[in-house]
Structure 1
Amino acid sequence: MENDGASCSGAVESKAGFVLGNVAEVVEKILTFVPTKSVFRSARVCRLWRNCARRVLRTRQKMSWISASGSSRYEEHILLRNMEEALENVFLLPQTVLLMMDNENFTGHHSSFRHKKAKRCQSEDEVDVMDRLRRLLPGNCEILCVITPGIVLSPSPTACLIPQEFMEGEAGFSLLFPAMEGVHIRPFHFCKKSLSDSALEKAGLAGNPDLKVVLLFGYDAYKTGAARFLNQLLEPLGRNNVLIAGGHVERVFPQKRDCCSPGSFGVVGLTLSGPKIQGASVLLDQDVSMPAAAEVTIRRLKAANIPESNTVGFMFACVARGHNHYNGQHNVEADTFHKLFPGVPLFGFFGNGEIGCDRIVKENYTLSQTDANGLQHGYTTVMSLVHLG
């Protein structure tokens, strides 16, 4: 009887091995349940598995994200620590990554990690962060990292989507964009040395009829000449049928920054182009200081009729808003967005000035017109929807 059992077990293993080595449909179905990093490892088994892995990876075209909040016991920011483990379990291959972290770990002009005894210079922090990200992410991945006073994020995709506003403590998120059919995402970075017509065209900000959304973040905007510089960029964009959203932040870590002189002002951001992209935004001005008024304004995004699948919300608010603006009531704007769009994750920041305006899609997909001055605000919130097809 024991020999019969061993023989039966061997037969089953033999049949299973035959199926896994010869039936592509079965292998492909199994790989759909496997995180992307494990799919890459599986692709080394044999030619059949490699071909199945390639087909599975081509289907993973929806954005994902990693979020973190709390207090890190380590020298680095809690988001960077959490990404190391979380990236093992994502179901996409990131092509472009947008990270936002609070400035809790990056304080003062001589930024330092608060757990370290010796202060380190700003460039050292930047090198550490970008080197860490390059080790975590694929080598050809475009990385844009933004440091802000406060963070708005939704928990991880496997948890509930109730967004949270963090004006204190460590918090951050990374939006992971894979290669998507009909969607082209390009990062850009301009300082006063690099802004030119040819550079704008190369970034997809000029001469690009498919441009639909521009996420734009200015840094060192208080310095002389920064306002004029930003207008050079916003004026042509404001005349186009393009959604513009963003604001002014504390610091940025672009992937390449050799064009900037120390202390130079500039802008970074992402252009989103393609026939499948849709976007709309509303502006909560300074007078909107009650939850009911916030809901009335954000509800206008419903008029855009943007599909809520594969869609992300962005909230760029003044650091003077949040619970300070709503008589001590926390999470007002994020909760209102979730009430109206329960299936859409929300991300953003509390910053030093907002960029955007009311742009609601009309029947022929024409956005409301504006000018450069009408795109820059203070004490407001820009709330946007971006659909990725």
Structure 2
Amino acid sequence: MTYLEGVQASGFGVLFPLPPLACAGCSATDERPAVAMEPDPKGCYVLSNLAEVVERVLGFLPTKALLRAACVCRLWRECSRRILRTQQSVAWVSAVESGPSDSHALVHALAEELEKVQVLPQTVLYVADAETFCGHEESRGHGQKKARRRNSKEIAAALEKLLPKRCQVLGLVAPGVVVTPIGSQSNRPLEIEEGEAGFALLFPKIDGVKIQTFHFFKDLKTRALDENQFAEAGLKNNPDLRVVLLFGENTWKPGATRFVHQIVNRLNEKSIVLAGGHVESFTSLMSENNARPAESCGVVGLAFSGAQIQSATVLLDQDVIDERTAEAAMQRLKAANIPEHNSLGFMFACVGRGYQYYKTKPNLEADAFRKFFPNVPLFGFFGNGEIGCDRIVTGNFILREYDTKDDLLHGYTTVMVLIHLGSSKTNQS
């Protein structure tokens, strides 16, 4: 299967109808007949024969428009294929303001921004606030039925319908969201503890990097974990595993602590950065979720493998109480000397921190991160428990060298993570 055939198989070709166009000068057996019009002979010659010019022009197109252009003729198809291979930078869509009452602002933002981005998503991680994403009802008065305003599964289905059909999708709902507004990676990240907000990270196919989703749910009949699932997710016998982002659901239930420890302890290796937190619920991976018992304890996540990946994480514990101590923690992260180009930051904080914890000073931890990493976008959430520790993995240096395992499960803390995905290919411009 060619690269472009793989793109079409992903579902984008179905989602975006292709226009019946043909490039003048191309063989009629290649494509569809041309629209009747008077062509410019010189322009037709250039756009039909000079690959360098065509590739330069098509390089300005968003990915959805580029996929349509790829069906015009053979030359354009080859140029589009080469351009798609260069689009290896992570993109994101964010929503920080309320949307229509029948949906969520992130759905509308994603629908709009997918028309503009230059990335073909292969893996998507999205996070939304629990208050407005999950279903609730509005009363219409005495004797009248309550009108359903939002339903999390319906909203998740609407959101994921916008993405390629074979895209890996992991969706989470949390009490609060940490998000960098769309537009520039240097925008100030925001800690949104109340109100409607969300983000979607769009990971393309990246040379030398493999990203896999995984899920484990507590089996009431057995205490043993399925070793095959660990291997299939790249979490076992994988020397290139560098980072695991781990998220728990219903971890307050009886037996959940032991279940989470089973998973975390298997991944608690000095060569792996492990970070994450506990959320209100999972909203994607619906086909897998449908088979699990209702309200069961579960763990999902993303595994990042690749020799070029570098990462570091620091724990802001209860001793971090003001701007000075928060910045001291960021200095530890900065000291890891992780490249900041083509990197992402993650913040997983306890719902008890934030505005009230720092005595009514908002956005303190996100601002501290931005002070030391002004060009690295930051994403994350406020949750019900945190996973992580101080650890650096760069391939030639590891912060932790102790024989004992690090304590990775915490409460009332914040975990900051920096992930570098390697040197990305430069997009066409």
TM-score, normalized by length of structure 2? 0.83
How far 1:325 moved relative to its partner?
1.0
Q: Which amino acid in structure 2 is aligned with residue 227 of structure 1? A: T
- Specify the SS of the correspondent of 1:40: helix
Relative distance call for 1:103 and 1:369 in structure 2 (3 A) is: farther
2:275 corresponds to 1:245: yes
Q: Which residue of 2 aligns with 1:282?
A: 314
Q: String of CA shifts for 1:334-383, please: whole Å, max 9, x gaps.
A: 01111100010000001000000011347822242576771001110000
Q: Which of the numbers 266, 273, 287 marks the counterpart of 2:305?
A: 273
| C-alpha separation in 2, matches of 1:264 and 1:12 | 63
Q: Which residue of 1 aligns with 2:10?
A: none
Write 1 or 2 for the structure with the bigger share of helix: 1
2:190 corresponds to 1:164: yes
Q: Which deviates more, 151-160 or 88-97?
A: 151-160
- Confirm or deny: 8 A CA contact 2:242 2:271 kept in the other structure: yes
- Confirm or deny: 8 A CA contact 1:282 1:383 kept in the other structure: yes
- Confirm or deny: 8 A CA contact 1:66 1:86 kept in the other structure: yes
Q: Which residue of 1 aligns with 2:104?
A: 77
Relative distance call for 1:115 and 1:281 in structure 2 (3 A) is: farther
Q: Which amino acid in structure 1 is aligned with residue 375 of structure 2? A: G
Q: String of CA shifts for 1:229-264, please: whole Å, max 9, x gaps.
A: 011101121135100110000001232313311110
2:170 corresponds to 1:140: no
Q: Which of the numbers 242, 248, 253 marks the counterpart of 1:223?
A: 253
Q: Which of the numbers 179, 200, 215 marks the counterpart of 2:205?
A: 179
Q: Which amino acid in structure 1 is aligned with residue 249 of structure 2? A: Y
Q: Which residue of 2 aligns with 1:5?
A: none
Q: Which residue of 2 aligns with 1:103?
A: 130
- Confirm or deny: 8 A CA contact 2:270 2:398 kept in the other structure: no
Query: Mind listing any 5+ residue stretches in structure 1 that lack a counterpart?
Result: 1-9
TM-score, normalized by length of structure 1? 0.91
Q: Which residue of 1 aligns with 2:331?
A: 299
CA RMSD of aligned residues (A): 2.2
Relative distance call for 1:363 and 1:27 in structure 2 (3 A) is: closer
| C-alpha separation in 2, matches of 1:91 and 1:362 | 29
| C-alpha separation in 1, matches of 2:170 and 2:231 | 19
Q: Which residue of 2 aligns with 1:260?
A: 292
Q: Which residue of 1 aligns with 2:226?
A: 196
Q: String of CA shifts for 1:80-105, please: whole Å, max 9, x gaps.
A: 11111111101010000000000122
- Specify the SS of the correspondent of 1:170: coil
| C-alpha separation in 2, matches of 1:259 and 1:222 | 21
Amino-acid identity (%): 50
Q: Which of the numbers 154, 157, 170 marks the counterpart of 1:128?
A: 154
Q: Which of the numbers 330, 342, 364 marks the counterpart of 2:374?
A: 342
Q: Which deviates more, 221-230 or 355-364?
A: 355-364
Q: Which residue of 2 aligns with 1:7?
A: none
Q: Which residue of 1 aligns with 2:6?
A: none
How far 1:287 moved relative to its partner?
1.5
Q: String of CA shifts for 1:90-149, please: whole Å, max 9, x gaps.
A: 101000000000012245xxx3376994348xxx93431332133200111011100000
Q: Which residue of 1 aligns with 2:136?
A: 112
Q: Which amino acid in structure 2 is aligned with residue 40 of structure 1? A: L
| C-alpha separation in 2, matches of 1:105 and 1:195 | 34
- Specify the SS of the correspondent of 2:212: strand
- Specify the SS of the correspondent of 1:374: coil
- Specify the SS of the correspondent of 1:105: helix
Query: Mind listing any 5+ residue stretches in structure 2 that lack a counterpart?
Result: 1-36, 141-145, 423-429
Relative distance call for 1:323 and 1:198 in structure 2 (3 A) is: same
| C-alpha separation in 1, matches of 2:393 and 2:269 | 15
- Runs of 4+ aligned structure 1 residues displaced above 6 Å come to 113-116, 370-373
2:85 corresponds to 1:58: yes
- Confirm or deny: 8 A CA contact 1:65 1:157 kept in the other structure: no
Q: Which deviates more, 155-164 or 245-254?
A: 155-164
Q: Which residue of 2 aligns with 1:384?
A: 417
2:113 corresponds to 1:86: yes
2:342 corresponds to 1:314: no
| C-alpha separation in 2, matches of 1:249 and 1:113 | 22
How far 1:268 moved relative to its partner?
0.7
| C-alpha separation in 2, matches of 1:232 and 1:13 | 68
| C-alpha separation in 2, matches of 1:20 and 1:34 | 15
| C-alpha separation in 2, matches of 1:50 and 1:60 | 16
| C-alpha separation in 2, matches of 1:129 and 1:364 | 44
| C-alpha separation in 2, matches of 1:178 and 1:51 | 19
Q: Which residue of 2 aligns with 1:6?
A: none
How far 1:196 moved relative to its partner?
1.1
Relative distance call for 1:198 and 1:372 in structure 2 (3 A) is: farther
Relative distance call for 1:362 and 1:263 in structure 2 (3 A) is: closer
